[in-house]
C-alpha cells in the first residue's frame, strides 16, 4: 500500500547519508506493518521510541494522524505519511499528501458510468479532503458531486439515506481521511453496495480486498523532496464486484489497473 511514500522514504534515507529513518506508527495496522516489518528486520528503518536519542539529521516518519500528533520534535525533520489533506497536522512537520490523481479517479468513475442514469457519483469528503474533492467536482463536467462530513455519524446518515431511497447516487467515493471515514463507515458502505446496487470506491488495495469495488492509490513519480506534489497513481479493483456492476475488466496503460479477488 502507498508505494509513493515508501520509495520517497528510501530516497530520503540515501540523501541523508544513509542514516536509517525512524518510524512512528501504531502496531497492528496491516497497511503499515506490510511495509514496515521487513525494513525493521533488515535495519534499513528503525522503530521510533519517545525519548530515545536520535542522530543529528536523522529523519522521522509518522504513519497516520495519531502518530503525527504525538510526535513533536522541534528542529527535527518529521514527515507525515497516510494523512489526509495538503497541510501537515503539526506545525513544522512536512507531509506527503494523500491525494489520488484526479484523472485516475475520473477514469474509474467513467468505467462504471454506463448505468448511472443521470445520477452523479457522490464523493464523501471531510475538512481535510475537501480541497481535493472540489478539484474532482470542477474537472468532472457534472459527473461528480461532493458532500462534506465532520464526524463518522454524518457519513453513516448518507448510507442510511441511500438505503431508504432519500438520496440517489451512481456510486460513492470515500476520500482519504481515515479518522472520520473510519472502519465503521467503510463496513457500512461495503454492505450498502449490494443493498442499493451501486459501487463504492475506497482508498487502498486493502479496502478492495475487504469488499469495495475499486480504489485509486497515489504514488510519487518524482522522489525529489522539493517536489512532493508530483504524483501518479494506480487503480485496484475487486474482480467480482466489478463484474457484478457490469465491468468485466479495466484497462489503462496510464493507471495500470490490477484486479484483486476477495
CA distance 166 to 160: 9
Q: Please give the share of the chain, as a percent, with pLDDT higher than 70.
A: 88
What pLDDT does 223 receive?
A: 41
Q: What is the pLDDT of residues 39-95, one digit of tens each?
A: 889 888 899 998 889 999 899 999 889 999 999 999 999 999 888 888 999 999 999
What pLDDT does 66 receive?
A: 92
Domain spans, the chain: 3-95, 102-260
What pLDDT does 96 receive?
A: 84
Give mean pLDDT, residues 14-21. Answer: 64
Q: At what angle do helices 130-138 and 102-111 cross, to 10 degrees?
A: 60
What pLDDT does 229 receive?
A: 53
pLDDT bin (cut points 50, 70, 90) of residue 37 is: confident
What pLDDT does 36 receive?
A: 83
Q: Domain 102-260, CATH 3.40.50.10660 — does that match?
A: yes
What pLDDT does 169 receive?
A: 97
What pLDDT does 14 receive?
A: 46
Residue among 106, 112, 105, 101 nearest 199 (CA):
112
Which has more pLDDT, 114 or 13? 114
What pLDDT does 52 receive?
A: 85
246-to-26, 106, 163, 189 alpha-carbon distances in Å: 39, 18, 21, 19
Q: Check whether 9 has a pLDDT greater than 80.
A: no
52-to-22, 48, 49, 73, 225 alpha-carbon distances in Å: 11, 8, 5, 12, 26
Grid cell for residue 111: 468505467
Q: What is the pLDDT of residues 118-164, one digit of tens each?
A: 999 999 999 999 999 999 999 999 999 999 999 999 999 999 999 99
What pLDDT does 250 receive?
A: 97
121-to-90, 113, 136 alpha-carbon distances in Å: 33, 9, 11
What pLDDT does 225 receive?
A: 43
Q: CB of 153 within 8 A of CB of 124? A: no
Grid cell for residue 106: 475520473
Q: What is the pLDDT of residues 206-259, one digit of tens each?
A: 999 999 999 999 876 544 444 555 568 999 999 999 999 999 999 999 999 999
201 exposed, middle or buried (CB, 10 Å; 0-12, 13-18, 19+)?
buried
Give mean pLDDT, residues 103-108. Answer: 97
119-to-60, 108, 114, 143, 144 alpha-carbon distances in Å: 45, 16, 11, 8, 9
What's the mean pLDDT when you consider all of the chain? 88
Look-up of cell digits 469495488 = 213
Give the global pTM.
Answer: 0.84
Amino acid at each position: 500500500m502507498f508505494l509513493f511514500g515508501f520509495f520517497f522514504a528510501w530516497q530520503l534515507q540515501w540523501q541523508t547519508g544513509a542514516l536509517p529513518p525512524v518510524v512512528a506508527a501504531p502496531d497492528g495496522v496491516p497497511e503499515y506493518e506490510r511495509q514496515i516489518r521487513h525494513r525493521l528486520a533488515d535495519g534499513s528503518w528503525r522503530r521510533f521510541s519517545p525519548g530515545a536519542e536520535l542522530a543529528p539529521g536523522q529523519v522521522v516518519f509518522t504513519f497516520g494522524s495519531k502518530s503525527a500528533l504525538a510526535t513533536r520534535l522541534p528542529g527535527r525533520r518529521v514527515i507525515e505519511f497516510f494523512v489526509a489533506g495538503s497541510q501537515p497536522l503539526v506545525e513544522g512537520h512536512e507531509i506527503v499528501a494523500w491525494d489520488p490523481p484526479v484523472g485516475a479517479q475520473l477514469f474509474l468513475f467513467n468505467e462504471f458510468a454506463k448505468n448511472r442514469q443521470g445520477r452523479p457519483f457522490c464523493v464523501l469528503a471531510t475538512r481535510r479532503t475537501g480541497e481535493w474533492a472540489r478539484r474532482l467536482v470542477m474537472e468532472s463536467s457534472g459527473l461528480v458531486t461532493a458532500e462534506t462530513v465532520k464526524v463518522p455519524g454524518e457519513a453513516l446518515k448518507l448510507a442510511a439515506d441511500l438505503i431508504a431511497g432519500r438520496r440517489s447516487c451512481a456510486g460513492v467515493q470515500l476520500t482519504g481521511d481515515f479518522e472520520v471515514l473510519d472502519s465503521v463507515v467503510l463496513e457500512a458502505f461495503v454492505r450498502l453496495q449490494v443493498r442499493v446496487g451501486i459501487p463504492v470506491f475506497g482508498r487502498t488495495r486493502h479496502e478492495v480486498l475487504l469488499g469495495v469495488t475499486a480504489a485509486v492509490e497515489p504514488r510519487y513519480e518524482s522522489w525529489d523532496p522539493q517536489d512532493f506534489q508530483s504524483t501518479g497513481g494506480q487503480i485496484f479493483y475487486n474482480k467480482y464486484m466489478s463484474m457484478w456492476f457490469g465491468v468485466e475488466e479495466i484497462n489503462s496503460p496510464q493507471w495500470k489497473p490490477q484486479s484483486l479477488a476477495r
